[in-house]
């Protein structure tokens, strides 16, 4: 028996009158055929309250609905992921949380997922600990990604259904995400677009570079403030290649301060111990309600100290 369920109530509109229950579940809730079938495996998985009725009653998937009806669907899932992510007591910075997702402000120089070298100190470990302490029974599901050195906004879905819908938004979401970076040197242009393919050299696992055989990569940047030998810039991406901002800014001669991979020629990183990159702004739609959400995350102290004086 599944350990957790997300209960969703839908009020049927005039435009939806006459549709079958299955059509509402697949069209409005974006449930797959497998998920719809699974809902019906349980006696209260799909129920309806007709206009004027006081209680819900069972309904078949082939039955039609009327305007004003309230359809209640329980989306079940297994949540036993013991051994996958070990909970830790590390704190997390919660920007937003609801029944379907949690948005965190990731610290810089922290990995998102557990690995051989970071078995207990990843952001996922910290989130698993938060779930445990607050009595929430969720699998840790990341939407999108951030490099270890990058700080800022990152979404985790709380259930399989929300994860699927948010993952389908990722392409558009990346274009509604903005980064702040501190780059070396004096920018000649206050704004620009870098359109240069990025690839991986054979036999080199970590480092990416601009190369003709690479995948399309497009980065837009705009100067926020110029300092003597570094600048604060705001960036957005049309594509989401690994290390894209770091590679592109280095390619045009302005690597990020503190970037040990792509900024080795920087003479003075002004105390930055990581690549100075922060996911500062994110817009997306709540996966169940469809409500537009927009968030900002302030610069972390290591970057803020260089631009806030």
Q: What is the mean pLDDT of residues 174-180?
A: 86
Which residue shows structure tokens 């599944």?
2
Q: Does domain 178-278 have CATH number 3.50.50.60?
A: no
Q: What is the mean pLDDT of residues 161-186?
A: 86
Q: Is the pLDDT of residue 201 over 90?
A: no
Instruction: Identify the band that residue 241 occupies on the pLDDT scale cut at 50, 70 and 90.
Output: very high
Domain ranges of the chain: 4-77, 178-278
pLDDT digits (tens, 9 = 90+) for 101-112: 999 999 998 999
pTM for the model stands at 0.87
pLDDT digits (tens, 9 = 90+) for 115-156: 877 888 999 999 999 999 999 989 899 998 899 999 999 999
What architecture is the 4-77 domain classified under in CATH? Roll (3.10)
pLDDT digits (tens, 9 = 90+) for 61-119: 999 999 999 999 988 876 655 457 999 999 999 999 999 999 999 999 899 998 877 88
Half-sphere exposure of 265 (CA within 13 A, CB side): 10
Q: Active-site positions?
A: 147
Predicted pLDDT at 172: 67
Q: What is the mean pLDDT of residues 21-26?
A: 92
CA 172 to each of CA 86, 145, 192, 201, 239: distance values in angstroms, whole numbers, following the listed order: 32, 15, 21, 29, 10
């Amino acid at each position: 028996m599944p350990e957790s369920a997300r209960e969703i109530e839908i009020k049927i509109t005039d435009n939806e009158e006459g549709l079958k229950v299955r059509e509402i579940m697949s069209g409005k809730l974006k449930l797959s055929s497998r998920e719809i079938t699974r809902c019906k495996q349980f006696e209260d998985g799909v129920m309806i309250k007709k206009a004027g009725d006081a209680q819900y009653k069972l309904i078949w998937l082939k039955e039609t609905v009327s305007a004003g009806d309230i359809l209640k669907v329980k989306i079940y899932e297994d949540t036993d992921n013991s051994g996958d992510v070990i909970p830790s007591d590390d704190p997390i910075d919660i920007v937003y949380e609801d029944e379907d997702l949690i948005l965190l402000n990731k610290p810089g120089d922290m990995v998102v997922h557990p690995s051989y070298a970071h078995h207990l100190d990843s952001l996922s470990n910290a989130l698993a600990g938060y779930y445990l302490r607050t009595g929430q029974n969720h699998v840790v599901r990341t939407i999108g990604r951030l490099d270890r050195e990058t700080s800022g906004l990152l979404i985790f879905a709380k259930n399989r259904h929300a994860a699927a819908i948010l993952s389908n938004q990722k392409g558009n979401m990346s274009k509604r995400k903005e980064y702040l970076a501190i780059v070396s040197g004096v920018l000649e242009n206050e704004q620009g677009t870098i359109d240069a393919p990025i690839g991986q050299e054979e036999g080199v696992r970590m480092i990416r570079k601009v190369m003709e055989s690479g995948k399309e990569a497009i980065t837009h940047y705009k100067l926020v403030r110029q300092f003597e030998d570094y600048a604060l810039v705001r960036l957005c991406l049309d594509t989401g290649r690994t290390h894209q901002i770091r590679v592109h800014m280095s390619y045009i001669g302005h690597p990020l301060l503190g970037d040990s991979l792509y900024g080795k020629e920087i003479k003075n990183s002004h105390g930055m111990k990581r690549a100075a990159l922060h996911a500062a702004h994110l817009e997306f739609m709540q996966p169940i309600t469809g409500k537009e959400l927009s968030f900002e995350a302030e610069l972390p102290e290591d970057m803020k100290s260089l631009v806030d004086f």
